[in-house]
Amino acid sequence: MCLIFTCGEHTFRKEVEGYEGLVCRCYNCGNYSGSVIKSHPWFTFCFVPVIPLSIKGYEDIACRICNFQQPLEHRQDVQAMRRGADGTRGVPLQPQPSGVPPQGVPPQGWGQKAPEPNQPMQYR
């Protein structure tokens, strides 16, 4: 009788609470594709997770493009952007313009004379 068993390792990943939807810059490739991920590695037997290889797991900045991972404790810029208990980020955003023009004022360029037509190209 021949039995074949497979052993291996599988890592379960999820976004860290407070950093959901946060995108940061990867220090390896320079792209804005890094996200804060918590990894939990497990030993698997016949593709079934059996023993956790880490009690707490690892909190890393993981790039989706180059797969570079850096520990979260080394990135103070990302830690400053953590979402607070009231739902706001730690770094305040600049006020955004409303985009609505004031009433009674025509948009720029209206009421002026028409622009001059383009002159044909002259080749010498």
For 51-83, the DSSP string reads EES-SS-EEEEEETTT--EEEGGG-HHHHTT-B
**Any domain includes 108:** no
The domain containing residue 17 runs over which residues?
Answer: 7-74
Per-residue pLDDT at 106: 67
pTM value is 0.60
Number of domains within the chain: 1
pLDDT digits (tens, 9 = 90+) for 7-56: 999 999 999 988 988 999 999 999 999 999 999 999 999 999 999 999 99
**Any domain includes 91:** no
Question: Is 35 or 83 the better-scoring residue by pLDDT?
Answer: 35
Per-residue pLDDT at 11: 93
**Any domain includes 27:** yes
Q: Is it the case that residue 6 has pLDDT exceeding 80?
A: yes
